[in-house]
Amino acid sequence: MKVVLFCGGLGTRLREHTDTIPKSMVNIGQRPILWHLMKYYAHFGHKEFILCLGYKGDLIKEYFINYVEWISNDFEIKGSSNEIRLFNRDLTDWKIVFADTGLDVNIGQRFKAVQKYLGDDEIFLANYSDGLSDLPLADYLHYFQQQNKIASFIRVRPNQSFHTVVTGNDGLVQEIRPANKSEIWINGGFFAFRQQIFDYIRDGEELVEEPFHRLIDEKQLLAYPHQGFWACMDTLKEKKAFDDMDRQGNRPWQLW
């Protein structure tokens, strides 16, 4: 099953890093978040990727063209010639399409630009490329296929540190609690689609604005609940949280 990855945005809230590299190339440990996400999908057998490139897309191309496997694999060096023998490999059976989808383009239009690379696949996956999860992907896909709808995404609890507030008409607070313990769910950015999704996206439209509301009107949009690990890397604080987890060896998204 093909996986469309949106990796063309500016990542303005990670400016300290994204001044020089695209957001999806910001590292967690030794590898970019994009690599971690692709490894996640490959673990479930989905190894055909379509990268929607934009801001500094040339750096993503260069990364994979000049990919160095020994950085994230055990290996040995033999002889004075420094001949390397890898004990395992990363992406020998991956297939990656690099599609330049424009600089000042929203996700909906990047999405439409790569439709031609999906071929005849009835169902495919997509992702914002800025979050990681331990989502049981096979269960999610089984649910999506059984429901026979056009589109779905996972809904997760927000992990930000703000609080939700409930007040009466008089302004008195009735309840305050951490957002991740509230009844709020947010879009986790792990999508599954049927090809009909493109019939709902018009020129210039974002993906989750007008198109998703059309799907809602026709009862064609699912939100799959995931109570396990999910985190995005949208700010420097969230980048630090990922770095701390990696340093401690706590990587729940690393199912492989």
Q: What pLDDT score was predicted for residue 144?
A: 98
110 within a domain of the structure (yes/no)? yes
Pick the residue with more confidence: 119 or 171? Answer: 119
Average pLDDT over residues 221-247: 94
Q: Is residue 217 part of a domain?
A: yes
Least confident of 208-217, 232-241, 243-252: 232-241
Confidence of residue 219 (pLDDT cuts 50, 70, 90): very high
Mean pLDDT of 217-245: 95
pLDDT of 181 above 90: no
What is the C-alpha separation between 194 and 125, in angstroms, rounded?
9
Rounded to a whole number, what is the largest CA-CA distance in the chain? 79
Does residue 256 fall inside a structural domain?
no
Distance of CA 234 to the CA centre of its chain: 12
Q: Which residue has the higher pLDDT, 180 or 234?
A: 234
Q: Is residue 253 part of a domain?
A: no
Nearest to 101 by CA among 121, 117, 120, 119: 117
Rounded CA separation 232/253 (Å): 11
Is the model's pLDDT at 242 over the cut of 90? yes
Burial 24-40 (b: 16+ CB within 10 A, else e): bbbbbbebbbbbbbbbb
Selected residue with higher pLDDT from 179 and 98: 98
In a domain, 254, yes or no: no
| CATH number of the domain bearing residue 15 | 3.90.550.10
The pLDDT, as a whole number, for residue 244 is 96
* 113 C-beta neighbours (distance < 10 Å), count: 17
252 within a domain of the structure (yes/no):
no
In a domain, 255, yes or no: no
**Residues belonging to the chain:** 256
How many structural domains are present in the chain? 1
- Domain carrying residue 97: 2-247
SS percent in the chain: helix, strand, coil, step 5:
30, 30, 40
Q: Which has the closest alpha carbon to 130: 22, 217, 48?
A: 22
Please say if the pLDDT value at position 246 is more than 70. yes
**129 vs 181, which has greater pLDDT?**
129
What's the N-to-C CA distance of the chain in angstroms? 18
Look at residue 42 and tell me if it is in a domain.
Answer: yes
Would you place residue 15 in the very low, low, confident or very high pLDDT band (cuts 50, 70, 90)? low
